[in-house]
Structures are given as structure tokens and as C-alpha cells.
Structure 1
Amino acid sequence: MTEYTKGLCDFITKLKFEDLAPDLTDKAKKLTLHVAGVALAGRTLPTAVSARSAARATVGTQADLMSTMWGEPGKLPMHGAIMANATAADTLDWEDCSYTGHPSAHLVSVSMAMTEAMHRSGKDYLTAVIGGFEVYQRVACYIQPTPEFDSRKYGWGLGSWQIFASAAPAGKLYGCDADQYNLLLGATGCSTPVVNAILALQGSDFYHLQYAITGLTGTMVAGMAKRNELDNIYNIMDGESGYPMMMRGFANEGWIDRNLGTEYLFGQLLFKHWPANMWIQTPIDCLDTLVTRHGFKAEDIEEIFMTPTYDERDKFSWDGYASCRDAQFSVPYCLAAYLLRGEPGPNWYTAEHLADPELLEMASRVKLDPDNHMNLQVAFKMFREGSFPTTSMRVTLKDGQQFEVTLPFPKGHPNNPFDWNDVERTFRAGARAANLPEEKIERYIELCKKIDELGDMAELAECLSM
């Protein structure tokens, strides 16, 4: 029998900050700035509001361990802050993308809330974020469906295996030993939400609220593991009754133990440039490039033609869009929002804009190539292999002028990475949208650059309170 579970447990429990290369810790610092910014930007949208309400109703307002609920005054019990901040981080679909989902909504919110409440160091935080990602990503890659599997019909489980991005850093920060961590992985697997297709088919914003639930559950079972409250759920990544069987029988050998401890998959994480689905990042980059170069405005445009057409990202209806999530997965909507709704943020997805006639009229001018379709399984395979689908766009103006651009990678891809100016810009936009005081904005940016020097992460986290 394999020993995948034991290998993961040995890796994460022995991992030290000193094991991490500077390029990895620098990326984790940037991620901390980026995720907080997009969470603050999304805090006024209904899903983020609902998550804050659910957090207060579920965990109350007082506990021994208290953490900042970003963009709010005061603190909340640690588990409640995790619930609220995790959903806020995903609400605008703006945080990150690995080739298995959006783990940073949990990695950052869980690790920051825990290190704040427990007064742990910045080195502890960075180690939990990077190590937690390695556990999450290797598990998620291990149980990915085969290319011929109909994920559109039966569902793709990013909201399911996402729970490991919560439990993995939590177990590290609680100081679980290898035996406790083994039980934690077992409990996390048994607590995984069922894979479903209904959220995508109906465009439900519960897609974002799942992060509150899996954030709470993952950290809760990590605490149970540390307190020795779990038993007899060992080696869940191994054997016929293990996690692959639970997740519909898929087992991709070679992912969990692939150069574990020497190759860090965290370096392949993509930062999102725009509040939209990952396959809409390059299309918006294309339009932004043309607008910046040529200075045309929305009212000048006759047609926007784009190739390829990304599967399931072409939705347009004169009836509008059913939810924030529904719009975030539409190339026509997102391009129109870029042109008409100004600086990226919650204003792209407020309820009144989802069926706004002006926006829908502009979205109707977006024409997607009927002869060149990009299958998402193929696109994800390219991403896993270090590449990305190339996108081309042609904008035709009403006066007959045409402008074209082709981009191989979106901004934020490992081959076109964010620098500090990029993440600072995103954070400032989100923080100002939340009316965070300017002195706290600048202090948070300053401290993010030297997280590894902080003795108490509360100093950083408290910058995000009103």
C-alpha cells in the first residue's frame, strides 16, 4: 500500500521557515496584500454580508481567541473571523487561481486569523501559508477527474477539496504532530462537501458562501486533532477505501509525493488581475491593453471579437444575469463591466448592474469565435504544464478603425507575475472601497513587506480593522 498520507504528515509537521526559498516567502507576502485587498473590496456584496451575519450567529461575539473581521470595527471569535474573511476573499472571484481552485481565500484568512489570535510570528504565518498550500494542492491534484469525465454534468469539486486549504495550515499552526495530522487529514476528507453541479448550473452565489463553511469546518477539525479528540481515520490518502474512492474513484498517481519538500507548487499560483473567473483574465487584459494604447471609449465601439471561445464562459442574455457568480463567468458581461463600471471592484457586480440595459447592450457587441473553442480540460492541462491559452482580440470602432492584440499569459501568471506595485494597487483600491483609514492602508503595506520580521501577527492583522 502507498504511504501518501504519512509522507504529507512528515513533510508539513517538520517544515520550518528556514526551509523556504526567498522567492516563495516573497510571493506569500504579496499574496497576503492581494487577498486582503480583494476581500475588503468585496465586503459590501450580499455574500460577504451574509457570511458576516452567519459568523456572528454561529460563533457569537466573545471567545478566548479573537481575530479581526476585515473592514469591521473590533474583533470576532477566531472561527467567526475565518468564516467572514474567507467568503469576502472569494466574493469578487479576484484572489488567485491554482489549477484546482482558489486556495488563498482560506490559506490567508485562516493563517492570519490564527496567528493573530494566538500571537504567533510572521515566520509561523508564512510557513503555514506555503506548507498548507503544498498539502492542499497535492491532495487536490491527486483526486482530479480524468479528461473525459463530464464535469459540467456531474460537477467539479473545487468547493469540496477546498476544505484542505483551511485544515492544512490550521493543523500546522496548532502544532499537530504527525499522528495528529494524519487523523486531521482523515477528518478533513470525511468532512468534504459532496461534489455538485447545481451551483454552476443555477449560477448560485452559495459558490462563495461555501468558503465560510469549509473555513470553519477545516479549522474546527484541526483543533479537534490537536486536542486528541479524533480516532481511527488514519491514512486517508491510501488504500481502497480512501479519499480517491470518496471523490468518485479518481487517483492520479505521482502528485502527492512528487518531489515533496524540494519542489514547491506554491510558486505556480496565479494572482488574478481582475474580479472575474480565471479564463476571463486574459480577455480583460486584452481589452485593457487596447484601451490603454488607443484611448477609445465604450461609446466608440462597434464590435469586440475574441478568439478562442472559452467553454461555458460565453453566456449572454437580454434578461441579464442571475447572480454575481453568473456574471463573473461571462466574457461578454465582464468586458462590458470593464468599459462601463470604472475601477474594478464591487461596482462591477452590484444587483442593479446585473440586468442594466446599458451594460447588456455593450455586452451584446462582444462576438466570440464560433469556430475556435477552448475546452477547459485542455486549458487546465496547459496551466498545469506551465503554459496558458493564448487569447486574441480585435476591436472595431464605429468609424471603421480596428485594433488588435494577442496575449499569451494574463497578468499575474507565473510567467507574467505581479510585482509589489501591482499588489499595492489592488490592495489600495480594495481598502479605499472599504473606507479603511489611509494610515492603516500604508501601515499594512509596509508590514506585509517584512512579515518575516514580525514577532506578533496581530500587529499586521489589526491594520485591517476600522
Structure 2
Amino acid sequence: MGYRVNAKDITTNYTQTLAEFTANLKYEDIPEDVRERAKHLAMQTIGVALGTKGMKLSDDAIAIGKSCGVGEPEATLWVDGGKVSMSSAVFTNSTLADALDWEDCAWTGHPSAGVIPVSWAAAEGFHRSGKELITAIVAAYEVYTRIAMVVQPPEDEDVFKGWGLTSWQVFAGVAPAARLMGLTPDQINQAFGFGVLCCPVQSNLHHITMSDAYHYEHGFRAKDGILAALTAKAGVENYMDCFDDTYSFDYHMTREPKRDWYTKELGSRWLTKEVLVKHWPANMWLQTPIELVHNITTKNGIKPEDIEEIVLDPPTLGRMFFDPAGFNSLTQAQFSGPYMIAMYLLNPVPGPNWFDLSMLRDPKVLELAAKVKPGKSSPDIINLCFKGFQRGEFPMKTVTITTKDGKTYSESMDCHPGHPRNMMSHEEFCDRFRIEAAPTLDADKIEKTIEALSHLEDCEDVAELGWIFSE
């Protein structure tokens, strides 16, 4: 434990238990289906990051990574292919992983935007094998999710207080970095403490402003994860047991911490398999509506010019924003049901073209988006939707399309493809990767990359796979 003024008050060992799990988890002890899911999560996250090529946000994040890339060139900048330090690489790559809002959504945020870029960069920098990389990925999802579940807000929380998904996101970086750097359990214990140090006060700033700074937040937390592990590896005195001291972490994050979640079913229930994978580049609560529009229009041959009205019932509070003058950020568009449905209808193949700045105010897009209306049911409340998601539920949505000839078409769905209860198959992941990675990789390289990621366990040194990230 080391010195602390309130040592007599420490009666649990949550931090050390998580640290020992992170350090000691063995590849062979992970169920095969969990290992496969880890590879699919890596494929999805890498694919959507490669899908950002040509976007201003992508270009800017790469430029920032290069400008901060001092030190040994240890890790690859995705999309660009250049080599920089691990911390600079993960700032860029985690930002790219979240830029299209296409990676994942767990019960508590977007762990893949931290877990996968950090795991990959640390595996490159320390020349770890594919099996070691997969093990670190699984350890990270298991640890991150439990820490985050401890500090989830109560159901009656003031929504304007903010939801700290980009606060506790730091642990999605700390855990895999510490594991792949070879830290001891005591050092990992301290690394978690540095994670607490780098966990910002929860803020609603990104949701209130709908700024694309939101995507950069994932880059900041990933960089902090690398630095936390490196600092603990260098060695400090004390700084132990952050999750066991009431006043070190969870006390400041929520008024109702659920502390049993720190180690709940650790090693027996694999929360890696509870992560939702997004089928479309949009906010998670828009996945089902877009899927329904896709199903209805595909089955019935409906074209954009045929449509009189689209009704989404029930709507989700905060996800039906529409301004006839247009949208002023990627994030605002990604959170808008009318915009995302219009973009699908006008271009059913998703990619960075959906978020070209010219599209945000394009008259054709806005004309179609204006036809997307909320139904008459009371709107779903996002905080309550997350509570349901944590219980294995998902909101039932109905989309009704009325065409100009007076015909109506309606379908309902709850768990869209990619939901843990309706997870995509291996071939479906590969097909999605082909679409996601197309802006960066040609067809031949896409197939070679799919092969490499599908057999990641056979790789002896992850640093040898740097070729997959650029043309």
C-alpha cells in the first residue's frame, strides 16, 4: 500500500485486484469467442480510423501528432503511415478512431477509441506478439468497463451536469499500456492512480456546443494513458490503491458510486462481448433508425425522390435536431437523426463523404432531412436508455415511410446488427472493413489487411504490421 494519511480507512483491495488481473491474464485463459471478439473490435476500430482520410479533422490530428512526435519513432500514425512516439501516435489514432463516430459504444462510452490505438502503439513500441496484443485488448475492456460502471450517474442525474465518457476513458488507455509495457501489479496499481490524476472533471461542454473537440478528447485521454503507464514504469513512491480510498476517485465522479463493480464477476463474465459495434457512422441511438430506413428502402426499391415523409417513433430526446440553415459541425450532424437518414438515402455507402463540410449545408440534404419527423410517442431519454442497455435491453424503434403515391411502409427493430444480442458475423465484419478502409487502402491491400487482422494471433511482432495503416 505504501504511506497514506488515512491508511486505517482502507478495507478493500479493488485496485490491486484489477492490477493483478491486468498483469497476469493469460491468452490461453481467455475463451476463444472473446479472443475473436477482440480481433473484430480491432478490425472495426482500425477500419473506421482509415475511413477518415481526406477529412479536415483527420489531417489536423495527423499534423498535431507529427508536431508532438519527439523521441524514438516507435509507433505508426494511422492513415499517414509515418512513425512517431507512442504518445503522439495514440493522440492522433484515437482521435481518428472516434472522428466518424463509427467505432463502438459500450455501456459507458467508446472504449475502442482508447483500447485499440493504445494497445497497438504499445505493442509496436515494445515489439509484442499478436497474442500479447489480443490479451492486452481483452484485459483493457474488462478493466475499463468495470471502473466506468462504478461511477455511472444515477437515473435522476441532471443531464446538464455532463456525462463523463471522455473522463473515465483514460482507463481504456492506462490498462493496455501498462500490460504491454510489462509493468508489475504494483506498478499497474500506481498507473491507475496516474489515470485518476488525468481523469478530468465531468463536463457537458462538448454536448452543449456540439463541437468536434469531442473527438479530440479521445486523443487526449489515450495520450494520458500512455504517459500514466510510462510514469509508473519509471517509478514513484506510494501512490497506491486509488480505487480503495473513498476520497481518491469515485467520490468525486458520482453521488452514488457502485463500488462492487470494480471487481464484479472479474474473470468469469467477459464484458468485452457486451460492447456494441456500430453498423453506421452515427450516434449509437441512431443505429436502429438508419438500419430500418435501409431495410425498408432496399426491400421496396424506394428512392429519395419517392419519399413524402419519414416518421421515427419513438424519437430519442436530443437526436432529432434539424435546422433548415444546416449543421455547423460533424458532431452535430452525427447526433441528428434527420441528417443521418438523409445522408444514407442520398449515398447508401457510408464514409467520410457523409461528413464533407459542403454536405452539412447542402440544399438537397436539408430538403430530405426536413422530411424526417418524430412520432407521437414520448421520446426515449438517453440516460434511461443506457440503463436499459446495461440490463441487456435496447429501445424498440419503428420507422414509417410514406411515399408520394400515398403508400406507407413500416418496420420495427430493437437490436440492430452489431448489438451484442445481434452481433455481426466474421464475414460481416470483413465486409464492413472493406467499406470503412476504402478511403485509405486499395482493394488488394484491404484483403491483405483483413487476412493479417483475422490471424493476429500468428504475428510474432506487431511492429511488423505497420504497413496496414497507409496506402
Same fold, TM exceeding 0.5? yes
Q: Offset of 1:342 from its aligned partner?
A: 3.6
* Equivalent residue in structure 2 for 1:113, among 88, 111, 121: 121
Q: Separation in 2 of the partners of 1:330 and 1:286?
A: 16
* Equivalent residue in structure 1 for 2:416, among 410, 415, 431: 410
Q: Separation in 2 of the partners of 1:279 and 1:404?
A: 19
* Equivalent residue in structure 2 for 1:53, among 49, 60, 63: 63
Which SS does the other structure have where 2:399 is aligned? Answer: strand
Q: Separation in 2 of the partners of 1:79 and 1:6?
A: 25
Q: Tell whether the 8 Å contact from 1:38 to 1:94 is kept in structure 2 after alignment.
A: yes
Residue 8 of structure 1 aligns to which amino acid in structure 2?
A: L
User: Hey, what does 1:131 align to over in structure 2?
Assistant: 139
What does residue range 415-454 of structure 1 map to in structure 2 within 5 Å?
Answer: 415-434=421-440, 436-454=441-459
Q: Offset of 1:246 from its aligned partner?
A: 2.5
Q: Separation in 1 of the partners of 2:167 and 2:118?
A: 17
Which SS does the other structure have where 1:93 is aligned? Answer: coil
Unaligned runs of 5+ in 2: 1-10
Q: Tell whether the 8 Å contact from 2:211 to 2:331 is kept in structure 1 after alignment.
A: yes
Identity of aligned residues (%): 37
Q: Offset of 1:120 from its aligned partner?
A: 0.8
What does residue range 214-225 of structure 1 map to in structure 2 within 5 Å?
Answer: 214-225=221-232
**Range that drifts further, 359-368 or 73-82:** 73-82
Q: Separation in 2 of the partners of 1:322 and 1:417?
A: 33
Residue 52 of structure 2 aligns to which amino acid in structure 1?
A: G
Q: Separation in 2 of the partners of 1:194 and 1:440?
A: 42
Q: Offset of 1:243 from its aligned partner?
A: 0.7
Q: Separation in 2 of the partners of 1:52 and 1:232?
A: 37
Q: Separation in 2 of the partners of 1:57 and 1:356?
A: 34
**Range that drifts further, 401-410 or 251-260:** 251-260
Q: Offset of 1:65 from its aligned partner?
A: 4.6
Over the residues paired in the alignment, what is the CA RMSD in angstroms? 1.3
Q: Offset of 1:245 from its aligned partner?
A: 1.8
Q: Separation in 1 of the partners of 2:59 and 2:277?
A: 24
Residue 223 of structure 1 aligns to which amino acid in structure 2?
A: L
Q: Tell whether the 8 Å contact from 1:38 to 1:426 is kept in structure 2 after alignment.
A: no
Q: Offset of 1:370 from its aligned partner?
A: 3.6
* Equivalent residue in structure 2 for 1:320, among 288, 306, 326: 326
* Equivalent residue in structure 2 for 1:389, among 382, 385, 395: 395
User: Hey, what does 2:54 align to over in structure 1?
Assistant: 44
Going from structure 1 to structure 2, the CA distance change for 1:389 and 1:131 (only over 3 Å counts) comes to same
Residue 332 of structure 1 aligns to which amino acid in structure 2?
A: P
Q: Separation in 2 of the partners of 1:42 and 1:411?
A: 22
Unaligned runs of 5+ in 1: none
Q: TM-score, normalised by structure 2?
A: 0.95
* Equivalent residue in structure 2 for 1:98, among 99, 106, 127: 106
Deviations 1:295-338 (A, max 9, x none): 11000000001111111111011121120001101111110111
Q: Tell whether the 8 Å contact from 1:273 to 1:412 is kept in structure 2 after alignment.
A: yes
Q: Tell whether the 8 Å contact from 1:69 to 1:84 is kept in structure 2 after alignment.
A: yes
Q: Separation in 1 of the partners of 2:204 and 2:117?
A: 26
Q: Separation in 2 of the partners of 1:460 and 1:372?
A: 50
Q: Tell whether the 8 Å contact from 2:146 to 2:261 is kept in structure 1 after alignment.
A: yes
Q: Separation in 2 of the partners of 1:220 and 1:239?
A: 23
What does residue range 11-410 of structure 1 map to in structure 2 within 5 Å?
Answer: 11-60=21-70, 63-151=71-159, 153-228=160-235, 230-410=236-416
* Equivalent residue in structure 1 for 2:463, among 458, 461, 465: 458
Q: Tell whether the 8 Å contact from 2:118 to 2:177 is kept in structure 1 after alignment.
A: yes
Residue 208 of structure 1 aligns to which amino acid in structure 2?
A: H
Q: Offset of 1:233 from its aligned partner?
A: 2.2
Deviations 1:85-113 (A, max 9, x none): 11111000000010100010111111111
**Range that drifts further, 64-73 or 187-196:** 64-73
Q: Tell whether the 8 Å contact from 1:112 to 1:461 is kept in structure 2 after alignment.
A: no
Q: Offset of 1:67 from its aligned partner?
A: 1.6
Deviations 1:267-311 (A, max 9, x none): 101110000000000000000010111011000000001111111
Deviations 1:172-191 (A, max 9, x none): 10111111111111110111
Q: Separation in 2 of the partners of 1:344 and 1:73?
A: 23
**Range that drifts further, 252-261 or 83-92:** 252-261
Q: Tell whether the 8 Å contact from 2:152 to 2:254 is kept in structure 1 after alignment.
A: no
Which SS does the other structure have where 1:406 is aligned? Answer: strand
Which SS does the other structure have where 1:318 is aligned? Answer: coil
Residue 143 of structure 2 aligns to which amino acid in structure 1?
A: V
Residue 103 of structure 1 aligns to which amino acid in structure 2?
A: P
Which SS does the other structure have where 1:189 is aligned? Answer: helix
Residue 49 of structure 1 aligns to which amino acid in structure 2?
A: D
Deviations 1:95-151 (A, max 9, x none): 001010001011111111121222210110001111011111101000111110112
Going from structure 1 to structure 2, the CA distance change for 1:159 and 1:78 (only over 3 Å counts) comes to same
Q: Offset of 1:169 from its aligned partner?
A: 0.5
Q: TM-score, normalised by structure 1?
A: 0.96
**Range that drifts further, 119-128 or 236-245:** 236-245
Which SS does the other structure have where 2:120 is aligned? Answer: helix
Which SS does the other structure have where 1:159 is aligned? Answer: coil
Q: Separation in 2 of the partners of 1:444 and 1:458?
A: 14
Q: Separation in 2 of the partners of 1:209 and 1:54?
A: 11
